[in-house]
Amino acid sequence: MSIGKLTQDMNEFVQSKGWYDVDSKRPQTVRNLTVSLSIEAAELLEHVQWREQPRDVAAFADELADVLLYTLQIAHVSGIDLEAAVQKKLAINRQRTWDQNP
């Protein structure tokens, strides 16, 4: 499934919950979504705290999916073409080096 299709599915879900409505209790602002993304990313840490691998892989996958869904929503609300942003960042990273002495 493409990023575009995942974003479309996310938007349909958000719309069905009324979260785009002006009086929504979960306004889809860049700030609110970024805070939520940070919380979800931190929840990933709980699964590997004191261990190298998550004990419950299915629950870990659910949290990882939440991170992706918030990322898609932030990109959408921000007007960012996430596919283009990822391709651009990969091109930059291909030119970088890690773990080498200067």
Predicted local distance difference test score (pLDDT) of residue 101: 66
> Which residues span the domain enclosing 50?
3-95
Predicted local distance difference test score (pLDDT) of residue 102: 60
Give yes or no for a contact between 20 and 64, defined as CB atoms under 8 angstroms apart.
no
37 in a domain, yes or no? yes
CATH at 26: 1.10.287.1080
Q: Look at the pTM and tell me if it is higher than 0.85.
A: yes
Is the pLDDT reported for residue 8 higher than 70? yes
The two tokens of residue 28 are 């889809």
Q: Is 99 left (phi over 0), alpha (psi -120 to 50) or beta?
A: left
Predicted local distance difference test score (pLDDT) of residue 1: 87
The tens digit of pLDDT for each residue in 11-65 reads 999 999 999 999 999 999 999 999 999 999 999 999 999 999 999 999 999 999 9
